Amino acid sequence: MTTPELPAHLGYKAPSWETLWAAARTLQSKRPNDEFMAKVLEGAFDVGCGKNPIRGNLCAAALRELVSHILHAMAPDEKVLKCVWYSKQPDTNGPTRRQRATFIMQGGLSVEFVTNKLHLDHDETCKPLIDAMNALSKSTHVREETILDDDEKIRELMDDTLGGVLALFDAAAHCQNEVYRQLEREIDDAVFDKFLSETIQELDELSTHTTFEGHESDEVRVVYVDEEVVKFAVSGLVYVELQYGSNSDLRKGEGAVMGDYYPYTATLCSKASNPEEVIGDSVDVKVDNSSFYDNGEDDYDESEPSEVPEGSPL
């Protein structure tokens, strides 16, 4: 006869206060400038580890305010209300906790895009934090039958709360990474079109005729996802052909042509409601041509082109 497996929660053991404090420090690193969050966290630990006979209830109250503060600070009403997925829930005066948590995870990205394209389950991601908040609410009101002074139960409450918040932060980072992976080609094409269709001053000034040959993106990251746009930052190398003199000069053997490459950075946006289409006039490219001038007037030899990285378009 097969022995049935025990439910996962029966094997759970609340972590030590030291382990919990390490999790708290990780949370602080996510919002290093949030002084209020730091104070409430410190207060929750002070009372949770103390001797007060209702310390668990006081700790729960502090943790509930901590989560509420994070949700409101990172998902304010005016932003959540503009999201395409937002709808007012019955008997509410504004965004719910779940809706705020959803905004922190995915901003204004539609549920369909997040589910079908990024393959993320926002309901499943938000559930641990919402469950923790419900448990905190039950423990904040001090009555004879609700006094919480069991150390392990207090640590379990702390673990569930910190774990739920950190899981939400991790989901937000994962969501942003998946957005980039999904839109990698669109981003690359948008930067290519910018180089091809417009004169970039930092390149144009380097020669009589500067011709764009191609580019390579080394790093692409999502700067933020808000209620209206997704902003990306790109860095890479742009490859050019530098022509000195006119075409007539070249035919006479009096001009010169050389290939070179320079680092660039770019920012661009897409609409949160339609993230797969880059907003054309949002693309801003800056090229660092300082290496061209750093070669110096004394030792720069136009006849010796820069060494081009292996695999470049040149």
**Which of left, alpha, beta for 38 (phi over 0: left; psi -120 to 50: alpha)?**
alpha
Does residue 242 share a domain with residue 197?
yes
Residue 62 within a domain = yes
Please give the pLDDT value at position 307: 56
Q: Among the three residues 144, 179, 214, which one is the final residue of a domain in this structure? A: 179
Please give the pLDDT value at position 213: 94
Please give the pLDDT value at position 151: 94
Give the residue-averaged pLDDT of 72-78. 96
Please give the pLDDT value at position 70: 96
Please give the pLDDT value at position 28: 96
Residue 306 within a domain = no
Helices 97-106 and 55-74 sit at what angle, rounded to 10 degrees?
50
Span 197-228, pLDDT tens digits = 988 999 999 999 999 999 999 999 999 999 99
- Integer-rounded Cα radius of gyration of the chain: 28
Does residue 142 share a domain with residue 191?
no
Q: Burial level of 99, CB count in 10 A (0-12/13-18/19+)?
A: buried
**In the chain, how many domains are there?**
2
pLDDT at 267 over 50: yes
pLDDT at 3 over 50: no
Please give the pLDDT value at position 159: 95
pLDDT at 298 over 80: no
Does residue 102 share a domain with residue 197?
no
Residue 221 · residue 180 · CB < 8 Å: yes
pTM of the predicted structure, to 2 decimals: 0.78
Give the residue-averaged pLDDT of 307-313. 52
Residue 311 within a domain = no
Please give the pLDDT value at position 295: 60
Residue 307 within a domain = no
Residue 111 within a domain = yes
Does residue 96 share a domain with residue 20?
yes
Does residue 245 share a domain with residue 108?
no
- Secondary structure, 3-state, the chain: CCCCCCCHHHHCCCCCHHHHHHHHHHHHHHCCCCHHHHHHHHHHHHHHCCCCCCHHHHHHHHHHHHHHHHHHHHCCHHHHCCCCCCCCCCCCCCCCHHHHHHHHHHCCCCHHHHHHHCCCCHHHHHHHHHHHHHHHHHHHCCCCCCCCCCHHHHHHHHHHHHHHHHHHHHHHHHHHHHHHHHHHHHHHHHHHHHHHHCCCHHHHCCCCEEEEEEEEEEEEEEEEECCCEEEEEEEEEEEEEEEECCHHHHHCCCCEEEEEEEEEEEEEEEECCEEEEECHHHCEEEECCHHHHHCCCCCCCCCCCCCCCCCCCC
Does residue 103 share a domain with residue 41?
yes
Average pLDDT value over all residues in the chain: 88
Q: Among the three residues 179, 204, 229, which one is the final residue of a domain in this structure? A: 179
Q: What CA dihedral angle connects 184, 313, 301 and 287, to 10 degrees?
A: -20
Residue 56 within a domain = yes
Does residue 78 share a domain with residue 133?
yes
pLDDT at 1 over 60: no
Please give the pLDDT value at position 124: 86
Beta bridge partners of 244: 256
pLDDT at 184 over 90: no
Residue 267 within a domain = yes
Span 10-68, pLDDT tens digits = 567 899 999 999 999 999 999 999 999 999 999 999 999 999 999 999 999 999 999 99
pLDDT at 312 over 60: no
pLDDT tier, 248 (very low <50, low <70, confident <90, very high otherwise) = confident
Please give the pLDDT value at position 142: 85
pLDDT tier, 7 (very low <50, low <70, confident <90, very high otherwise) = very low
Does residue 198 share a domain with residue 153?
no
Q: Is 55 or 247 the better-scoring residue by pLDDT?
A: 55
Does residue 254 share a domain with residue 218?
yes
Please give the pLDDT value at position 247: 84
Does residue 162 share a domain with residue 49?
yes
Does residue 85 share a domain with residue 115?
yes
pLDDT at 306 over 90: no
Residue 304 within a domain = no
Does residue 42 share a domain with residue 80?
yes
pLDDT at 280 over 90: no
**Domain limits for position 230:** 183-294
Pick from 24-33, 74-83, 180-189, 278-287: least confident: 180-189
Please give the pLDDT value at position 143: 86
Please give the pLDDT value at position 141: 81
